[in-house]
Chain A
Amino acid sequence: MTRFLARRLLLALIVVFLVTVVTFVILHLLPGGPARGVLGVKATQAQIDAFNRAEGFDQSIPLQYWDYLVRLVHGDLGTSYTLNTDVSTLLGERLPKTLLLTATSTLLGILVALPLGVWQAVRRGRASDVVTTGLAFVLYATPVFFLSLVLIILFAQVLPIFPAQAAQGDDIASLLSQPASLVLPVLAGTGVTAVAYSRYMRSSTVDNLAEDYVRTARAKGTPERTILWRHVWPNSLTSVVSMIGYSVPVVFSGSLVVESMFNYPGVGLLFWTAARNADFPVLLGVVLVIAVTTVLGSLLADVVQLLIDPRVRVPGVKS
């Protein structure tokens, strides 16, 4: 187990390293570089050259990357070109807000999806299953920006119950002080996760119900209810953890869209502004955070799968 964990951690580190290489190189291959965007139309060539010298853009890309890596190891993510602030400070301000949004909607997604998935599996093929599954299909086929829009129309315009944008402010307390403004963004985020999870739960329960141990229990005359809650449900629950782990990229990309729709002041909006202003250090910082979270998520998922079923072949690990 320890050897497995160590090996898996090493692989995770390699992936994060590869992510930094790829994003860094891609950004620095962009034609023109960030100087014009940062300095504006009126900047002279001399000023642009000075900026490029100061930021090290006149050096070769491998050398620039090395500098970046050295600073990264020291915990220095660089300074935003436009906001005069450390990237780490910015992320420190924004990340808790995004985590609040994603954690709440993931939790809600699970609360909806688990019972729903099991219920659908049990009532497989009946009208109620067909209707809810059909609804899930439609929700799955709806782009998140369209879903958010529908929510805004329904609950902020037709029935003006909730505000259509999140509370603005410097810290997470200002968000929590206006809980009503969190309802619609969280709902939109829940839409993303609930569909994915209920789908997963339904089919995993269906598979479980067809397993030998269920047949044995049935043959022994165990009541269907007991089978479901004593045998199938615990099995499904353990798989939830790995499901959450693997769904980190989905949740994050959903959050990028949801944040821009509801003007939610998290990492997603930071990413949009940075992209708009060619703010490379911020872009690199956000991508790095998402990558690390994704890698940690799948690491968690792998470990849990291994705990459940040691025979599982985890990628990169010989059984």
Chain B
Amino acid sequence: MTTIALPTRFAVGSNRLATAGAVILGLVVLFCLAGPLAYHSDQVHTALDAARLSPGQQGHPLGTDDLGYDVLGRLMVAGRTSLAIGVLAGLLATAIGAVWGALAGYAGGWLDAVLMRIVDTGVAIPALFLLLVAATLVTPSIPVLSLVIGGVSWLVPARLMRAEAATLRERDFVKAITVMGAGRLRVVFGHLLPNAVGTLVVAGTFQIADAILLVAYVSFLGLGVPPPATDWGAMLSKSITYTYDGAWWLILPPGIAIVLVVCAINFVGDGLRDAFAARGRA
């Protein structure tokens, strides 16, 4: 939704930041996946008699929400959803975009024009509108949301890959293969995509970060996974109403979690890009 469609990213002290990003990411994944093994809480049944407790009360370190769910435990299960959808959707978007862009860039001519006009059309329709319609047609679940989010965010990688493919096409080795009579698909899948792997890995990383943000927006629109499942975006947007009650424990944890993870992935992405760039120069 508000993901930025500009092609460049930061590159600052990438190695150190990338390492820091990787460590943060590892810790968050550990927290979400292994956390519930060490810290037990009922995230399936409501407990109206224990609703809206502040941190520390009745053995809830981060308090409870308006239905009595333990917030610390909820942060873990919500993170699983956010990360799962983010990774799946990011990979899907990159995959579709890569094939689409490579086909367009390599083929050129009318096929290129048609494919890229479709991309332009997609960019011109607000993602919000598409998500809205999608939500009334399907029942949200992790695979469905991954498909939907991947389905609206493949346009940027497609443009990126098209540019890359158009450059590669002029390279001698691709020309040589084409002259030798290799089929169009074989060139695309066998040569163009493998040669663009650096671009793709970097784009994929950024796509994952953007997809995690997009999951938050989707939940904010009320189209998130059905209860009792939840994700960070849903926790955050739901808690917003309790701001006035001073319920910081409902707002800050999911907000910080989103910012932390998205930052960490971007750090890693920058590091990866620098690494590929260095290899390219060598």
Footprint of B on A, CB under 8 Å? 11, 14-16, 18-19, 22-23, 26-27, 29-31, 124-125, 129-130, 133-134, 136-138, 140-146, 149, 153, 192, 195-196, 199-200, 202-204, 206, 243, 246-247, 249-250, 252-254, 256-257, 271, 275, 283, 287, 290-291, 294-295, 298, 313, 315-316
* Interchain CB contact under 8 A, B6 and A22: no
* Interchain CB contact under 8 A, A203 and B11: yes
Smallest Cβ-Cβ distance to A287: which chain B residue: B129
Q: Which residues of B contact A316 (CB under 8 A)?
A: 112-113, 116-117
* Interchain CB contact under 8 A, A200 and B6: yes
Considering only residues 209-260 of chain B, those with a C-beta below 8 Å from chain A are 209, 213, 216-217, 220, 233, 236-237, 240, 243, 251, 255, 258-260
A153 to B248, CA, bound (A): 12
Q: Which residues of A contact B236 (CB under 8 A)?
A: 143, 146
| Residue from the list A14, A30, A142, A247 in contact with B137, Cβ < 8 A | A30
Give the interface size bracket for B toward A: 35 or more
Footprint of A on B, CB under 8 Å? 1-6, 8-13, 112-113, 116-118, 120-121, 123-130, 132-133, 136-137, 162, 166, 209, 213, 216-217, 220, 233, 236-237, 240, 243, 251, 255, 258-263, 266-267
Q: Which residues of B contact A149 (CB under 8 A)?
A: 240, 243, 251
* Interchain CB contact under 8 A, A141 and B209: yes
A145 to B12, CA, bound (A): 28
Smallest Cβ-Cβ distance to A295: which chain B residue: B124
Q: Which residues of B contact A313 (CB under 8 A)?
A: 166
* Interchain CB contact under 8 A, A138 and B263: yes
Q: List 16 A-B contacts (CB under 8 A).
A: A19-B121, A31-B137, A125-B12, A134-B12, A141-B213, A143-B2, A145-B220, A199-B6, A203-B11, A249-B126, A250-B3, A253-B128, A313-B166, A315-B120, A315-B162, A316-B117
A11 to B112, CA, bound (A): 13
Between A196, A247, A253, A254, the greatest number of chain B beta carbons within 10 A of the residue's beta carbon is seen for A253
A227 to B136, CA, bound (A): 56
Q: Which residues of B contact A199 (CB under 8 A)?
A: 4, 6, 8-10
Nearest-CB distance from B251 to chain A (Å)? Answer: 8
* Interchain CB contact under 8 A, A195 and B4: yes
Nearest-CB distance from B6 to chain A (Å)? Answer: 5
Smallest Cβ-Cβ distance to B216: which chain A residue: A143
Q: Which residues of B contact A16 (CB under 8 A)?
A: 124
| Residue from the list A26, A129, A192, A275 in contact with B2, Cβ < 8 A | A192
| Residue from the list B12, B209, B216, B258 in contact with A130, Cβ < 8 A | B12
Q: Which residues of A contact B213 (CB under 8 A)?
A: 141, 143
Q: Which residues of B contact A287 (CB under 8 A)?
A: 125-126, 129
A204 to B2, CA, bound (A): 21
Smallest Cβ-Cβ distance to B254: which chain A residue: A146
* Interchain CB contact under 8 A, A15 and B4: no
The verdict on A253 contacting B243 (CB below 8 Å), with A16-B124, A19-B121, A143-B213 known, is no
Between A31, A200, A204, the greatest number of chain B beta carbons within 10 A of the residue's beta carbon is seen for A200
